[in-house]
């Protein structure tokens, strides 16, 4: 065991766990004040709910041995089996296998929590619980296996440093699929209601994102340091791009513009941060800021009722980052070179991974929502918050 790697990944697990309550505060401050309590409850409850789901079944589906042609993991780690046997730890051999499990658990918790922001006033608690259990097992765990668990996308050569596809894109496009399945709100009551909550949440998320991305290096090493640097660079340029567009359209800027612009760059950095040179992150973040801003405008024009723009930020930001990785992957930093370094094949591998992952998460999410809704309706009565 390497004590430096242990300390780094243990700290990462603590900080990334804190990012889920940060999402709760961020979302709770952005919605109408009468839904703040609902958002806090739904997001915070993701922690115990997904901890149990991931521990008992999800981790094994993600990191168990390949079955069905690499489309899902096997039963190797069902019901917490084998987590104290470090011979199983082929992913992070310098730390205990149980610590690798905990870090992956923190990723599994925060990903579905992102979806709750898209469905304000349409997400009753009981169907919410059923949906996130099934979505975690049928969407999140398989995507993790495909990309990081040795599944068929990994064998195809698909690259993704910290979760452009299996975290952000599937959260964003699943959110939009759920919006289409449930439908728009009958009455729009939007926030923000508490910018202090927003500021607290964003501050934790912005800082936490450095170690979120860096933890994908699975050790205290140069790749982790590069990922942290690239994360900050992308968030800065994404923020500037968003502010320029916002000012050009409205002749003013707001705290919300700063927040959403930074988020766009942060999401773009997730798949790229450990695999590209620092200079890439300035144009990458800027492109991400522009495309995510445009996605918000498109969502408004099309009247898609994704309340907190989860699709525009996480879906389009994740997609952008993966495409840019296919172009700019540096062979000195990544397992394969991108198009810029003479390997155009990598770009098309990334595109194939995006198409497969997006189609899968959209179809499965839409069907899940429709099926669950037949047995226990998602919508809150008169679109009023539930009492807890």
- What pLDDT shows up at residue 387? 60
Q: Does 383 score more than 70 pLDDT? A: no
Over range 115-129, report the average pLDDT: 89
- What pLDDT shows up at residue 287? 98
- What pLDDT shows up at residue 379? 76
- What pLDDT shows up at residue 188? 77
Q: Could you give the percent of the chain with pLDDT greater than 90?
A: 85
Q: Does 388 score more than 60 pLDDT? A: no
Find which of 65-69, 85-89, 329-333 is predicted with most confidence, using mean pLDDT: 329-333
- What pLDDT shows up at residue 123? 82
Residue 69 region by backbone torsions, left for phi larger than 0, else alpha for psi between -120 and 50, else beta: left
- What pLDDT shows up at residue 4? 95
- What pLDDT shows up at residue 190? 75
How confident is the prediction for the chain on average, in pLDDT? Answer: 94
Q: Does 382 score more than 70 pLDDT? A: no
Q: Does 381 score more than 70 pLDDT? A: no
- What pLDDT shows up at residue 225? 98
Q: Does 323 score more than 80 pLDDT? A: yes
Over range 260-280, report the average pLDDT: 97
- What pLDDT shows up at residue 378? 84
Over range 65-77, report the average pLDDT: 94
129-142 residue pLDDT tens: 999 999 999 999 99
273-289 residue pLDDT tens: 999 999 999 999 999 99
74-119 residue pLDDT tens: 999 999 999 998 888 999 999 999 999 999 999 999 999 999 999 8
205-249 residue pLDDT tens: 999 999 999 999 999 999 999 999 999 999 999 999 999 999 999
- Of 175 and 186, the structure prediction assigns the larger pLDDT to 175
- What pLDDT shows up at residue 34? 85
Q: Does 368 score more than 80 pLDDT? A: yes
Q: Does 185 score more than 90 pLDDT? A: no
Q: Does 187 score more than 80 pLDDT? A: no
């Amino acid at each position: 065991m390497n004590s430096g790697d242990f300390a780094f990944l243990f700290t990462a697990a603590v900080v990334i766990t804190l990012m889920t309550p940060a999402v709760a505060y961020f979302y709770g401050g952005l919605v109408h004040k009468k839904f703040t309590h609902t958002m806090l409850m739904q997001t915070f409850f993701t922690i115990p709910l997904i901890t149990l789901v991931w521990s008992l079944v999800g981790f094994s589906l993600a990191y168990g041995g390949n079955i069905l042609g690499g489309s899902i993991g096997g039963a190797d780690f069902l019901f917490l089996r084998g987590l104290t046997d470090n011979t199983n730890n082929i992913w992070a051999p310098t730390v205990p296998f149980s610590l690798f499990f905990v870090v992956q658990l923190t990723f599994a918790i925060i990903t579905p929590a992102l979806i709750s922001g898209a469905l304000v006033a349409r997400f009753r608690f009981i169907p919410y619980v059923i949906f996130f259990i099934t979505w975690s097992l049928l969407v999140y765990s398989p995507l993790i296996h495909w990309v990081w668990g040795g599944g068929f996308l990994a064998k195809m050569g698909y690259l993704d440093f910290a979760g452009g596809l299996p975290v952000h894109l599937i959260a964003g496009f699943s959110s939009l699929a759920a919006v289409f399945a449930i439908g728009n709100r009958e009455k729009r009551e939007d926030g923000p209601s508490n910018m202090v909550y927003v500021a607290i949440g964003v501050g934790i998320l912005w800082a936490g994102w450095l170690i979120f991305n860096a933890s994908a290096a699975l050790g205290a090493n140069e790749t982790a340091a590069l990922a942290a640097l690239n994360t900050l660079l992308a968030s800065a340029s994404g923020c500037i791009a968003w502010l320029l567009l916002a000012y050009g359209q409205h002749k003013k800027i707001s705290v919300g513009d700063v927040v959403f612009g930074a988020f766009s760059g942060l999401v773009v950095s997730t798949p790229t941060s450990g695999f590209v040179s620092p200079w890439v992150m300035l144009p990458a973040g800027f492109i991400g800021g522009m495309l995510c801003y445009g996605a918000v405008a498109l969502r408004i024009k099309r009247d898609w009722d994704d309340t907190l723009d989860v699709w525009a930020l996480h879906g389009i930001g994740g997609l952008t980052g993966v495409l840019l990785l296919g172009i700019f992957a540096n062979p000195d930093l990544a397992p394969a070179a991108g198009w810029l370094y003479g390997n155009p094949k990598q770009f098309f591998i990334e595109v194939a991974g995006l198409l497969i992952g997006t189609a899968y998460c959209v179809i499965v999410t839409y069907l899940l929502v429709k099926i669950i809704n037949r047995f226990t309706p998602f919508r809150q009565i008169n679109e009023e918050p539930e009492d807890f």
